[in-house]
A and B are shown apart, each in its own frame.
Chain A
Amino acid sequence: MAAETARRSRPPTLLAIGQVRYQLLLLLRSPLGFFLSVVFPLLLLVCLKVITPSHPVDGLPYAQWVTPAMCAFCLLNACYVTVITSMVLAREEGTLKRLRGTPLPAWAYLAGRAGSAFVTSVLACGVIIATAVAFFSVSIVWHAVGYFVGATLLGIACFFLIGAAVTTVVPKTDTALPIAFGTMLPLAFISDVFFSVSHPPVWLHDLASAFPVAPIAQAMEDSFNPATQSWPMPLSGLLVVLGWSAAAIVVIALAFRWEPGPAPAARGLRRSPGSAGRPRHRP
C-alpha cells in the first residue's frame, strides 16, 4: 500500500536533536536540576574563595586552583547527579514506558540526555570560569586550554555513562538523590575536588585513583597551572576513566529499564560493575 511505504521513519539526527531540546527544556523548568548544575557550584566557588585564607595551593593562588575544581564539580552534578535523579524520575513516572511505545529509538533518548548534560556542563563551566576571571583575577592558561577541553569532554562522557548505568540499580525515585549524592560527594572529597589533599594516606590515594573522578578533576586543575606543559592525565588515570566508561556501557546495554519498578531480582544485576559506582564495592 502506498500509505505504508510513505511511513518512512524520521531521520535519527533530527530525533536526537529534538531530544536534546526537550531535555534542556525540562531542566530549565525544574529548579532542582538547574540549581545543582549551575547555581550550586557557583555558590560554592564564591564561598570557598571568600572563607579560605589566601595561601597558595600546589604553588598557585587559591582561586586559580579552585576554579577548575569547581568546573569538575559542575560536571559531576550535571552529568552524574542530575542524570540519575531525572532519569529515575522519568522511569518511575512512566515517561520512559510511554516513549518506548513510540518510534523514538532508545539511543536517541540517551543521546538527548547526553546532549543536554553536555550543554549544561559547558554552560556551567563557562559561568564559573567567567566569574572567576572577572572577580577573582584567575587567568586562563592559554597553552593548556586544549588539555582542559579534553579532560572536560572525557569527564562529561564518563560521568554521564556511569550515571545512566547507576539508574539501573536505583529502585525508586526517593532513593535516587541519596544514592547519587552518597556516591558522588565522598568521592569528590577524596579526589581533590573541594581541596587539594597534599599528603594523603596511601590507602586513600589508592582508593581515589581507582575511580574516575580523581584523574579527571586533577587533569582539569593542572590545565589551569601555567607550569603544565603536556597532557596532564597519566596513562593509568586514562585507563581508569575508559574502563569505567566501558563497564557502564555494558551495564546500560544489559540492564537499562523502561518500565517503572525495581530491577527484576532474577537478573542478579546488583553485583554488576555499574553498581560499583558505590564506594562499598571497594574491597
Chain B
Amino acid sequence: MVERLRKDYGTVRAVDGVSFQVRRCEIYALLGPNGAGKTSTVEILEGHRRRSGGSVRVLGFDPGTGDRHFRERVGIVLQSGGMDAELTVREMVSLFAGFYARPRDVTETIEQVGLTAKRRARVRTLSGGQARRLDLALALIGDPEVLFLDEPTTGFDPNARREAWDMIAGLRRAGTTVLLTSHYLDEVQNLADRVGVMSHGHLVEESTPDALGGRDVSGTVISFRLPRQLRGSEPPAGPWDRTAGPVGEFTMHTDEPTRVLLALTQWACAHHTELPGLTVTRPSLEDVYLRITGQAGIGAGDGR
C-alpha cells in the first residue's frame, strides 16, 4: 500500500522512506509522538497532500491523482474543524450524503454515532466530543471501504473514548479497513490489529500491539524481598540480570521469565520459605514505546 514514501516541506523531510501495507478489514494504527510524520503520511494517503517521492496505492488508486471514483470509496476524519456552524446535525449529514453515489441512511448513521438526540441542534452548539462524532458520521455517510482517522479521540473524556472505540471496532466487523493515527498507547492496544511506530519521519517498528518491542517475552521484570531464612545467600544463577536496589530487595530482568520463575520457586520451596512481595511485570506498552521512539531519535541524530 505504501512504499518508500517521502514528504519534504522545503528542506525538512517530514516523512522519510516509510513503507507499510494495510490489509483489508484490519485496523492499522500509526503511533508516534507529535511531529513524527503521522499526519503527513495519512494526508498523502487521503489525497490531501502530494508526496515528494515513493509510491502509494489505496484501493488500487494513486491518491495524488485519485479523482471522484477514489473519493467515493474512502472516508476521512480530519483532526478538526470544517463544519458549518449554522447548519444542524441532520442538515450537515444529509448534505454530505448527497455527494455520494451510494450513501448510507442518514437517520441510521446519526443514530450510530449517538447524535440522534442532537439531530436538530446547530453544529456550533455541539460539545467537542459531539462535534467529533458528527465528524465521524460525515466520514461514514458515503459507506467507505477505507476509513482514515487522524487522532480520533484526542480531547475525549474516558467515556466518550470507550464509545468511540466500540464504534470503530464495530466498523471493522462490518468490513471497513481503518487506518488511524494516535499518540495514545491504550487506544492502540484496544483497537489496532497492527501498529506501525513512527519517529522522526521513519517507521521504526511494525508489529501487533501485544508484541511491540518484543514485549510479549523480553524485558520481564521479576522482583521480591529476600526472606529472613535466606539472608546472605544468592538466588540460583540463571538467565537474568540483577539491577541495583536496597539491600534484601531483588529486581531482576529476564527474557525467559518461565525458567527464572521455576528456578526461584524451587529454590524457595527447597528452603521451606516464601518469597515476599513476588511480582512479575511485563514492560508496559509505554516503556517499550518510549524506548523505541527514544532510540530512533538518537539514531536519527547520529545519522546526520
Q: Residues of A with Cβ closer than 8 Å to B?
A: 4, 6-10, 14-15, 18, 22, 25-26, 29-30, 93-105, 259
Contact = CB atoms under 8 A, between A and B. Distances in A.
Interface string B147-177: 0000000000000000000000000000000
Given A9-B72, A29-B87, A102 B99 contact: yes
B101 A103 contact: yes
A95 B73 contact: no
B48 interface: yes
Contact of B95 (A4, A7, A18, A93): A18
A90 to B, nearest CB: 8
B80 to A, nearest CB: 7
B46 A101 contact: yes
Which 8 pairs show the lowest CB-CB distances between chains A and B? A94-B82, A98-B82, A94-B81, A29-B86, A101-B76, A103-B68, A102-B99, A104-B99
A20 to B, nearest CB: 12
Interface of B: 46-48, 68-69, 71-74, 76, 78, 80-84, 86-87, 91, 95-96, 98-102, 138, 142
Contacts of A4: 73
Contacts of A93: 81-83
B71 A101 contact: yes
Contacts of A102: 71, 96, 99-100, 142
Contact of B84 (A7, A15, A95, A100): A95
Contacts of B80: 94
Given A7-B102, A8-B101, A9-B101, A101 B91 contact: no
B101 A30 contact: no
B82 A95 contact: yes
A192 to B, nearest CB: 36
Given A10-B99, A26-B86, A105 B78 contact: no
A29 B81 CA distance: 19
Contacts of B101: 6-10, 103
B48 A101 contact: yes
Given A98-B83, A98-B138, A7 B78 contact: no
Given A102-B96, A259-B48, 14 more contacts: A7-B72, A7-B73, A10-B98, A93-B83, A94-B82, A95-B82, A98-B81, A98-B138, A99-B82, A101-B46, A101-B78, A103-B68, A103-B69, A103-B72
B48 A100 contact: yes
Contacts of B100: 10, 102-103
B99 A15 contact: yes
Contacts of A18: 95, 98
Nearest to B143: A7
Contact of B68 (A6, A22, A96, A105): A105
A26 B102 contact: no
Contacts of A105: 68
B103 to A, nearest CB: 9
Contacts of B99: 10, 15, 102-104
Contacts of A98: 76, 78, 81-83, 138
Contacts of A104: 99
A214 B69 CA distance: 45
A29 B84 CA distance: 10
A8 B95 CA distance: 18
Contacts of B102: 6-7
Contacts of A103: 68-69, 71-72, 99-101, 142
Contact of A26 (B81, B82, B87, B142): B87
B86 A97 contact: no
A10 B96 CA distance: 12
A9 B82 contact: no
Nearest to B85: A93
A29 B74 CA distance: 31
Contacts of A30: 86
Contacts of B69: 7, 9, 103
A30 B87 CA distance: 10
A103 B97 CA distance: 10
A99 B82 CA distance: 8
A12 to B, nearest CB: 10
B42 to A, nearest CB: 11
Contacts of B86: 26, 29-30
A237 B78 CA distance: 46
Nearest to B73: A7
7 contacts: A7-B101, A26-B84, A94-B81, A94-B82, A95-B81, A95-B82, A103-B71
A259 B82 CA distance: 10
B8 to A, nearest CB: 12
Contacts of B71: 101-103
A115 B68 CA distance: 22
Contacts of B82: 93-99
A102 B101 CA distance: 11
Nearest to B74: A101
A101 B45 CA distance: 11
Nearest to A98: B82
Contacts of A101: 46-48, 71, 74, 76, 78
A14 to B, nearest CB: 8
A207 B99 CA distance: 45
Interface centre among A4, A9, A30, A94 (most CB of B within 10 A): A9
B71 to A, nearest CB: 5
Contacts of B72: 7, 9, 103
